[in-house]
Amino acid sequence: MAGTVTITTAAGESFTAYEAKPDGAPKGGLVLIQEIFGVNQVMRDLAEGFAAQGYHVLAPDLFWRQEPGVDITDKTEAEWQKAFALLNGFDQDKGVADLQATISHLRGLGVGKVGTVGYCLGGRLALLTALRTDADAAVSYYGIMLAPLVPEFEKISAPLLMHIAELDKYVPPADREAVLAALASRPTASAYVYDGQEHAFARVGGQHYNVDAATLANGRTEAFLAKALAA
């Protein structure tokens, strides 16, 4: 069952989130964090897929301060240009606050533990939820701009899973190695590098989608969440 809900920020403002509910009682809550294309069909399909696994899912509209309801694809140059403009205008600190509001909203529904899963920009934000929110677990798919966050990695205490593309054009190899080295000292964190894979290898329908790598990553995510969000 899917629909839209309204979430209120600590400042009293409001934004919407796509909601997907499981059949029966949820085995946890999940905040699904968008890419730079907004809460589009890819994100809605992902939300419904996680709901089918038993989670109560919310995918918040994080670009609402710039343009509510962004829903674009990765298929045209014009859409890419709009996506990058939205990324450049996005206040990530306020975005993390919106994610905390979404986590709190889910908890208020009595879903139990709440985790986050994010892709691309959302992959960075998922890591930020592990650093700056009270999320019970976080999963990051090919996050961008991760290396500047390394000094904060000492804050990681909840379970964290990271999927990293070896050939990610948005992540220099030196940055990737710095992130992996810093994660190695965090006992609740695990990371996998997908050899030969490009950015967005798990985006169904995307240019770099790879069914084998995506299936492997998604299977790891499913097992991770089942353990991390268990009652």
Contact 161, 128 (CB under 8 A): no
Distances (CA, A) of 98 to 20, 102, 205: 18, 6, 28
What is the DSSP secondary-structure string of 53-77?
A: TT-EEEEE-TTTTT-TT-B--SSSH
Please tell me the predicted confidence (pLDDT) of residue 17.
98
- Token reading at 181: 């080295």
SS3 state at 186:
coil
56 is annotated as an active-site residue: no
105 is annotated as an active-site residue: no
Which position among 45, 199, 208, 212 bears the catalytic label? 199
pLDDT digit of tens for each residue in the chain (231 aa)? 679 999 999 889 999 999 999 999 999 999 999 999 999 999 999 999 999 999 999 999 999 999 999 999 999 999 999 999 999 999 999 999 999 999 999 999 999 999 999 999 999 999 999 999 999 999 999 999 999 999 999 999 999 999 999 999 999 999 999 999 999 999 999 999 999 999 999 999 999 999 999 999 999 999 999 999 997
Please tell me the predicted confidence (pLDDT) of residue 44.
97
Name all contacts of 63-70 with Cβ < 8 Å and 24+ positions apart: 63/34, 63/38, 63/90, 64/15, 64/16, 64/98, 65/91, 65/94, 66/90, 68/15, 68/16, 69/16, 69/38, 70/37, 70/38, 70/39, 70/40
Q: How many CB atoms lie within 10 A of CB 203?
A: 21
Q: Is 95 left (phi over 0), alpha (psi -120 to 50) or beta?
A: alpha
Which position among 61, 74, 98, 168 bears the catalytic label? 168
Distance CA 31, CA 118 (A): 8
Distances (CA, A) of 128 to 62, 147, 164, 205: 14, 12, 16, 27
Please tell me the predicted confidence (pLDDT) of residue 1.
66
